Structure 1
Amino acid sequence: MSSSSSATQTLERGLQLLRAFRAERTPLTNAELVRRTGFSRSSVSRLTATLVQLGYIRRVAGGPEFELAPGGFRIGYAYARTNPVTQRVHPLMQGLADRLHVSVALAVPDGLDMLYIAYRASAQVATLRLDVGSLLPMGRTAIGRAWLWGLPSQQRERYVAAILEAAGSDAPQVRQRLDDAFADLDATGVCMAVSEYQHNAYGIALPLRVGRAGTLMAMNCGAVGLALDDVGALRQRIEPELKDAAREVEALLRDLDAEP
């Protein structure tokens, strides 16, 4: 392997390791990073040592666990501050969140996860501990299933195959819920997930196309504190507003040249 390709692989692995921290802010040991990345113990040890030295992660109280350090935040902050998508859609999303007493998110794919690039929440409702930069599993959330449904069929099935392989023994259940969500989207244009990503929480989502390139994204409304007997009324209240908001987002971003 050439030195340039070796350096590229090292950089790629370093970025994958940083992604493994996700958004729950839980400190991780080398063993947990091995499990999340699939890298060898020796590779993870070298990467964590380098990333600590560069200021992207740090040890927690000098112990065996690591957490993200300010080095990574600077990059994310710069993206959030300069991203034309978030600048345009945040006022609209905040208005929707306040009217419906929910959180509202806009997401793009990142591997087999969905990455929140815009997020707003009502101050009057309990929401999931999420924000810009949060990663949610594509196959187990409404926002991920909505994005998958928006893909051309062959590309969708490639993603689904990878999701099912990663699900292991849970694959039959994941497949059934994906199929149910796709049928719901076929019939109504939205899908809903209840108490899957987190107990007593829900998400209602749909796909949308952004900018001149028609980049596929997904948008959702969600919150915690759900009474299961209110699911039908909740969906009836949120679905039309979410669809209207998605059309407004597409209109706001229609002339966007850059990828989100």
Structure 2
Amino acid sequence: MMGSDEKDRKFATTLARGLSVLRAFRASDDGLTHTQIAERTGLPKPTLTRLTYTLSQLGYLSHAGRNDKFRLGPSVLLLGSVAQVSISFVEMASEAMQKLADSSGTLALIAMQDADRMMLARTWRPQNTASIWLEPGHRLDLFGSSSGLATLAAMGEEQFAALSPTEDQRAMRQRGYEQLLERGFVITPADTQYTRRIHAVSVPFFAGEYGAPVSFTCGALPKDLDLERMEQEVGPALRDLVRDLERRTGRAPTLARRG
């Protein structure tokens, strides 16, 4: 994605590289070394050294000493706090998502499009039940995950065209759209799944804060979430949760916004 973006004269490559450093951090990290950041970003060492120095000076990274690992700094925490307050639908859905995670024994999550991937923005693990372990910041395939399929099916044609989709990807999106029309949730067909190790069902929600759909998803290991449960139990429950959220926030159904 970076290669095509760098050809855009309006695209600020240095800024993008700096942000890629911040995006390299995951919730489970106990700090990252220069080498680890380089592995995750693909940036050359001289460039990375300048970026980490600048980000540290601005408070976006903290670095106590020469041999210490880099950690996200107070400026990032401040941005996160502001973002969390401004994205009201996440907190409004939190209690219901935790209840659904507990009752279904699945990992419930909200995922948002991040270029050609889906990034987990929030997760709810079922209490007293073993479940798959995915954390905020983890990225899924846009084409091949149920979260991606729900987002693709609900996004406008202009947004979709910007992804330069193949004919197979257009057909995949259409199948997702038909699922939403028929039952209000999507399950990625077996022939397009990016992994067979996780079963998941998703429902799109139009996030006015972003002007784009995000995906509400429940997922688990195939032995714990078979096709029948997805179709008859978890999918309908997740659909009803999102529809209730639409009513509470005064949002129109997501498909009504697709152009």
- TM-score > 0.5 by shorter chain: yes
Could you tell me the TM-score, scaled by structure 1's length?
0.70
Change (3 A) 1:13 1:139: same
Q: Distance in 2 between matches of 1:203 and 1:26?
A: 29
Aligned partner of 2:230 among 225, 235, 242: 235
Q: Secondary structure at the residue paired with 2:222?
A: coil
Aligned partner of 1:209 among 195, 206, 210: 206
Q: What is the letter of the counterpart of residue 216 of structure 1?
A: P
Aligned-pair CA distance for 1:26:
7.3
Alignment of structure 1 residues 38-77 onto 2, 5 Å: 39-58=43-62, 63=67, 66-77=70-81
Describe the superposition over 1:44-89 as per-residue Cα deviations: whole angstroms up to 9, x where unpaired.
2210122234443356995486443454234223422453122311
Aligned-pair CA distance for 1:247:
0.9
RMSD: 4.0
- Larger strand proportion, structure 1 or 2? 1
Q: Unaligned stretches of 5+ in structure 1?
A: 165-174
- Pick which of 213-222 and 29-38 moved more: 29-38
Q: Distance in 2 between matches of 1:231 and 1:14?
A: 42
Aligned-pair CA distance for 1:19:
1.2
Q: Distance in 2 between matches of 1:22 and 1:217?
A: 20
Could you tell me the TM-score, scaled by structure 2's length?
0.70
Aligned partner of 1:149 among 141, 149, 153: 153
Q: Distance in 2 between matches of 1:251 and 1:221?
A: 21
Q: Distance in 2 between matches of 1:106 and 1:243?
A: 13
- Pick which of 131-140 and 147-156 moved more: 131-140
Q: Distance in 1 between matches of 2:41 and 2:227?
A: 39
- Native 8 Å contact 2:87 2:209 kept in 1: no
Aligned-pair CA distance for 1:221:
0.6
Q: Secondary structure at the residue paired with 1:122?
A: coil
Alignment of structure 1 residues 156-171 onto 2, 5 Å: 156-159=160-163, 161=165
Aligned-pair CA distance for 1:18:
0.6
Q: Distance in 2 between matches of 1:71 and 1:52?
A: 10
Aligned partner of 1:107 among 102, 107, 111: 111
The answer as to 2:15 corresponding to 1:20 is no
- Pick which of 78-87 and 28-37 moved more: 28-37
- Larger helix proportion, structure 1 or 2? 1
Change (3 A) 1:151 1:51: same
Tell me what 2:4 maps to: none
Q: Secondary structure at the residue paired with 2:143?
A: helix
Q: Unaligned stretches of 5+ in structure 2?
A: 1-8, 253-259
Change (3 A) 1:212 1:49: closer
Q: Distance in 2 between matches of 1:39 and 1:148?
A: 30
- Native 8 Å contact 2:149 2:186 kept in 1: no
Aligned-pair CA distance for 1:133:
4.8
Aligned residues: 237
The answer as to 2:218 corresponding to 1:221 is yes
Aligned partner of 1:120 among 115, 119, 124: 124
Q: Distance in 2 between matches of 1:143 and 1:245?
A: 16
Q: Secondary structure at the residue paired with 2:131?
A: coil
Q: Secondary structure at the residue paired with 2:49?
A: helix
